[in-house]
Chain A
Amino acid sequence: MDVALGRPELVVEAGAARSQRRWDIFLQLNFCLPAAMLLLLVVSAIFATQLAPYDPLHTSLTERLRPPAFAGGTQAHLLGTDKLGRDVLSRIIFGSRVSLTVSLVVILITASIGTALGILGGYLGGWVDGLLMRITDISLAFPGILIALLLAVTLGPSLTTVVLAISLLGWAPYARLIRGEVLKLRTADFVLQARIMGCSSLRIMVTHIFPNIVNPLLILATLSVGLIILLESTLSFLGAGIPPPIATWGSMVSDGRSLIDTAWWISFFPGLAIGLVVLSGNFLGDWLRDRLDPRLRQI
């Protein structure tokens, strides 16, 4: 054999057809709209200082309660100002940082814990599984807001508290989902084959089972973006979240509550941002689920 070092070149088959398919996804509205929305979130979070027209904390009492530009306000404040004269648009842009940070950190924590526990329970079975699943049941049954409020009171409201509070119960759905998937996989012949070839349980869990559950994991993670942002907003709204004056979408909605009949824009625009991002997360999750379905994937 005259083939040189290492692994052979990947056989590129029907390359044209594949790249055709790659471009097709940008024509699917249920992919490109939510993807663009989430991209906007990421960009605004990263480049908040460059994008925001004003300092989100800068108060100006002479400029207070200005309506949005299209509703009789000035071009200076596109989405109006709140009761302290802070620019709503700038605050929404800076608020995206909180939303994004919280979602990413929480997903990282909950997905890791949930996946580890789910695989352990599903693969090992027996009392390990029983114990882990009872803990999962308890976590799922517990009112999350209560825990979060409790934490906020004892630890004091901060970004860390919010992340902790959401993560504390957030791993349970992952554990439940992954365990179910692993239960299906553990009796699969390829797992037995791996054991026949001398793999340890740990190796089977990490290298043989985990790659097979990446799809549902990815889907759940995407779907949970919306939920996490909603929870963070709820906590901030209740005053147990990130303390003022840091701009978060939830606290902005909360701030504008008392003025909802006169200065509706203070609550409306951050509320709209929450709604759009949550919706985008859900749409993208659904799209991923359809896309990654193994029965559709291989066509």
Chain B
Amino acid sequence: MEPVYRWPQPLLQVDDLRTYFYTRRGVVKAVDGVSFSVAPGETLGIVGESGSGKTMTSLSLLRLVPQPGGKIVGGKILFEGVDLLQLSEEEMREYRGSKISMILQDPMASLNPVYTIGEQVAEPLRQHQHLAGKTLWDQVTEALRLLRIPSPRERLENYPHQMSGGMRQRVVGGIAISCRPKLIIADEPTTALDATIQAQYLALLKDLQRQTNVAMIFVSHDFGIVARMCDRVAVMYAGKIVETATVRELFSNPQHPYTIGLVNSVPRLDRKVERLASIEGQPPALLNLPPGCRFAPRCYAVFDRCHVAEPPSIEAAPEHFAACWRVA
């Protein structure tokens, strides 16, 4: 067995995070007891299908759960030892952008059409570091150069609509990195880009991480991308993390039936497969969940206990946790 690499003191430690939505029809438990940690410079992947709570988890970390309706009802988010959930809104604002920032999915929509990209990259720097004049514009140019935007000085005066999708997403990356945060949450940053640009952008992010040692939470539904980008992976299903392991461990030794299903559904070049495996059924509606394991209705290895009680997170191997009774 290969040596287990233990990460140093975590930068971010999330404990039993719960984000609920209070709707007319009931309580939707979008994030229901999620725990994970991220070390400095590490990349944690969060994978899962749409609606599994990936985005809500990311937004919860910044305390930007959609209002009205959404609310973080419990848990702890320790960032450098400070519980973000205990901060006032003003104190929290100091963290956003300067220590933790986020890249959204759609580069077409996440830039303000009425401002030049220079202004938009400058905004967080003005806000958090109160820069102005030459220092400010040097920083802005530097941020754009980190994202390898060609001739950044000239590009500062461009409006978003004058740029291509790939360039815009780089600008969004530039905004996120401008204040040199310790943690960047990238929520499917390449979904809106085409395949070649996607590969470029991912390489760019990896490179950026090497240069700035920023930790990253990489949210995706694409196992291929996750395998390339991440050190560790957390698999989410219906608002819960069902399995956490290093990338290599997760792919070679998946424990949770859901993860096994996901891994088998990825097309592979090294094996001849007639038909890709799929997981039958649909994820459960998060409204009024039945007791027991949430994956039980779709699970091929289900047994009595699965319908009775929810499985806790069990250490299947060192640094490898799975929430499944089968593992116990």
Residues of chain A whose beta carbon lies under 8 Å from any beta carbon of chain B: 1, 3, 5-8, 10-11, 125-126, 188-190, 192-200, 203, 208, 211-212, 294, 298
Interface presence of B166 (CB below 8 A): no
With A6-B134, A190-B112, A195-B64 in contact, is A200–B93 under 8 Å at CB? yes
B137: contacting residue among A7, A125, A189, CB under 8 A: A7
B114 and A6 contacting across the interface, CB-CB below 8 Å: no
Of A1, A8, A197, A211, which contacts B127 at CB under 8 A? A197
Chain B residue contacts of A294, Cβ below 8 A: 113
A1 and B156 alpha carbons, distance in the complex (Å): 14
B105 contacts across to A, CB distance below 8 A: 189
A3 and B153 in contact (CB under 8 A), knowing A126-B68, A211-B115? yes
| 3 nearest A-B residue pairs (beta carbon) | A197-B97, A189-B109, A198-B96
Could you say which residues of chain B place their CB within 8 Å of the CB of A203? 127
Q: How far is the CA of A294 from the CA of B161 in the complex (A)?
A: 11
Any chain A CB within 8 A of the CB of B247? no
The smallest C-beta distance from A15 to any residue of chain B, in angstroms, reads 14
B154 at the interface (CB under 8 A from A): yes
A11 adjacent to B111 (CB under 8 Å): no
Q: What's the nearest-Cβ distance from chain A to residue B71, in Å?
A: 14
A1-B153, A196-B97 are known contacts. Are A6 and B137 too (CB-CB below 8 A)?
yes
- Find out whether the CB atom of A192 lies under 8 angstroms from the CB atom of B101: no
How many chain B residues touch A (CB < 8 A): the figure is 40
Instruction: Please state if A198 and B104 are interface contacts (CB–CB under 8 Å).
Output: no
* Docked-complex contact B134 and A5, CB < 8 angstroms: yes
Residues in A neighbouring B101, C-beta threshold 8 A? 196-197
- Whether A11 and B154, one on each chain, are in contact in the complex, defined by CB atoms closer than 8 angstroms, is yes
Shortest beta-carbon distance, B236 to chain A, in Å?
A: 21
A298 to B113, CA, bound (A): 11
CB closest chain-A residue, reference B112: A190
Interface bits B282-321 vs A (CB < 8 Å: 1, else 0)? 0000000000000000000000000000000000000000
A198-B63 Cα distance, complex, nearest whole Å? 11
Contacts of A5 in B (CB 8 A): 133-134
18 more CB-based (< 8 A) A-B contacts, given A8-B156, A11-B158: A6-B134, A7-B156, A8-B153, A8-B157, A189-B109, A189-B110, A190-B111, A192-B110, A193-B102, A193-B172, A196-B64, A196-B101, A197-B96, A197-B97, A197-B101, A198-B95, A199-B123, A212-B114
Q: Could you tell me the distance in whole angstroms from the C-beta of B93 to the nearest C-beta in chain A?
A: 5
* B141: Cβ under 8 A from any A Cβ: yes
Within 8 Å of chain A (Cβ to Cβ): is B98?
Answer: yes
Report the minimum CB–CB distance from B85 to chain A (whole Å): 17
Q: Are A189 and B104 in contact (CB under 8 A)?
A: yes
Please measure, in the bound complex, the distance between the C-alpha atom of A7 and the C-alpha atom of B95, giving whole angstroms. Answer: 28
Contact of A198 among B97, B109, B110 (CB under 8 A): B97
Cβ-defined contact, A197 with B110, below 8 A: no
CB nearest to B175 among chain A residues: A197
Interface string of B105-145 (1 = CB under 8 A from A): 11001111111001000011001100001100110010000
User: A194 — which chain B residues lie within 8 A by C-beta?
Assistant: 112, 123
A211 neighbours in B (Cβ, 8 Å): 112, 114-115
* Binary per-residue interface labels of chain B (85-104) against chain A in the complex, 1 for a CB within 8 Å, 0 otherwise: 00000000111111001101
Q: In this complex, what residue of B is CB-closest to A207?
A: B123
In the bound complex, do residue B112 and residue A198 qualify as a contact, i.e. CB atoms below 8 Å apart?
no
Query: Are A199 and B110 in touch, CB under 8 angstroms?
Result: no
A11 to B155, CA, bound (A): 9
Q: Which residues of chain B are near A195, meaning CB under 8 Å?
A: 62, 64, 96
Q: Are B110 and A193 in contact (CB under 8 A)?
A: yes
> Measured between C-beta atoms, what is the minimum distance from A120 to chain B in Å?
15
Say yes or no: B112 contacts A11, CB within 8 Å.
Answer: no
Which of B93, B98, B101, B138 has the most chain A CB within a 10 Å cutoff? B93
Beta-carbon nearest neighbor of A188 in chain B: B109
Contacts of B113 in A (CB 8 A): 190, 212, 294
* A6-B172 CB under 8 A given contacts A192-B104, A198-B93, A198-B97: no
Q: A6 near B64 (CB under 8 angstroms)?
A: no
Give complex CA distance A189, B141 in Å.
24
Min CB gap A118→B, angstroms? 18
Ordered by A's residue number, 14 sampled pairs between the chains whose C-beta atoms are within 8 Å are: A3-B153, A5-B133, A6-B134, A6-B137, A11-B158, A125-B67, A188-B109, A190-B110, A190-B112, A195-B64, A196-B96, A196-B97, A197-B175, A211-B112
A197/B124 in contact, CB under 8 A = yes
Provide the residues of chain B in CB contact with A198, threshold 8 Å.
93-98, 124, 127-128
* Bound complex: CA A126 to CA B67 (Å): 9
B164 to chain A, nearest CB (A): 14
Given contacts A3-B153, A8-B154, A298-B161, contact A208 B95 (CB under 8 A): no
Q: How far is the CB of B5 from chain A (nearest CB, A)?
A: 31
C-alpha gap A294/B159 in the complex (Å): 13
A196 touches B133 (CB 8 A): no
Chain A residue numbers with a CB within 8 Å of B110 are 189-190, 192-193
**B123 cross-chain contacts in A, Cβ below 8 A:** 194, 197, 199
B86 to chain A, nearest CB (A): 18
**Cα-based distance from A125 to B70 in the complex (angstroms):** 14
Known pairs A188-B109, A198-B95; A193 contacts B157 (CB<8 A): no
CA gap between A6 and B122 in the complex, in Å: 12
Distance (Å) between the CB of B58 and the closest chain A CB?
A: 10
B308 to A: closest C-beta gap in Å: 40
Q: If the complex has contacts A5-B134, A8-B156, are A196 and B62 also in contact, measured as CB distance less than 8 A? A: yes
